Amino acid sequence: MADQNQQVSRTDPTQSELQEPRLQGFECKQVLVIGLGNSGGDVAVELSLVASQETTAKQVTIIGAGMSGLTSIKCCLEEGLEPTCFERSDDIGGLWKFTVKTSGHGKTQVYKSVVTNVTKEMSCYSDFPFQEDFPNYMNQAKMLEYLRSYAKHFDLLKPPTGRRSFCASFQTTVCSVTKSPDFSASGQWEVVTEAGGKQDTAVFDVVMICTGHYLNPHLLLHPFPGINKFQGQILHSREYRHPETFQGKRVLMIGLGNTGGDIAVELSRVASWANPKLDYK
């Protein structure tokens, strides 16, 4: 009986046996520690460093390389994940990358004269403050310069060590994101992208949607009886770029939020008549 008891006690490792060499046998295993005394607590902490760890890094897709997308790339790299960011335009910056041409459905950029309404101390990344010589409230050019500096400082657009591919893939549109056939077991997602007229499908462990909440305009026309008979131009403020387009025109603006106020002031200098309204009620 004594021999049998001794054999049973040798089946499972005792706390004294869980030294550093012994911990190597617990990688990627699920371990239940019963008892949280001094020894149990020490063992649990040590095992948490090696048990149930993935042998390969999780693949993360990030949609959008704007302000949220860039910091998502950085956080993934810091956590040992492998991010791949898909950006439909040819550069980073998101809405802060001004273009003269309107961006169309699913894209948005600010107008040329926009200035932030939040101070630089409150709108910067916590680990990357704005430069000292930047103004407290910045135009879009300064914001884009800041984002470029952030990406360069943390090497967000270069292939990390051990990877062949870049973290960001530009001029690539995400067509769909669906659950993989074995989603209930793997939790993975199938992402279909299109670039250069060709579609590609890849599987990712995690999907981070960083397209922002200004992606598509909320243009309500139905509350205006007879609007379908109006022969003039109707546009959302998202399509506004600069005031010169409205030189000498009669303009009715609906809405006096931050954007509406900016545009109303600009148009009052060039339009023959600009009449802002608070709302459509």
**What pLDDT digit, counting tens, does each position of 55-111 carry?**
578 999 999 999 999 999 999 999 999 999 999 999 999 989 888 776 555 566 788
So what's the pLDDT on residue 104?
55
pLDDT higher for 54 or 224? 224
pLDDT of residue 15 exceeding 60: no
So what's the pLDDT on residue 227?
87
C-alpha dihedral over 98, 104, 107, 112, to 10 degrees?
20
Domains defined for the chain, CATH in brackets: 2-48 (no CATH), 59-209 (3.50.50.60), 227-277 (3.50.50.60)
How many whole angstroms separate alpha carbon 82 and alpha carbon 56?
Answer: 10
> What is the per-residue pLDDT across 152-200, written as a single tens digit (0 to 9) for each?
999 998 776 666 567 889 999 999 999 999 999 999 999 999 999 999 9
Q: Are strands 82-87 and 59-63 parallel, antiparallel or unpaired?
A: parallel
Residues 247, 270 contacting (CB under 8 angstroms): yes
> What is the per-residue pLDDT across 29-63, written as a single tens digit (0 to 9) for each?
666 667 777 776 776 777 676 555 555 789 999 99
Contacts of 179 (CB under 8 A, 6+ apart): 188, 189, 190
pLDDT band of 216, cuts 50, 70, 90 = confident
Average pLDDT, the chain: 82
pLDDT of residue 144 exceeding 70: yes
Strand-pair partners of 63: 86, 209
- Percent of the chain surpassing pLDDT 90: 49
Main-chain phi, psi angles of 199, to 5 degrees = -100, 150
How many whole angstroms separate alpha carbon 19 and alpha carbon 30?
Answer: 18
How many whole angstroms separate alpha carbon 126 and alpha carbon 141?
Answer: 21
So what's the pLDDT on residue 200?
96
* Range 198-224 burial, b when 16+ CB lie within 10 A, else e: eeeeeebbeebebbeeeeeeeeeeeee
So what's the pLDDT on residue 108?
67
Q: Which amino acid is at 234?
A: I
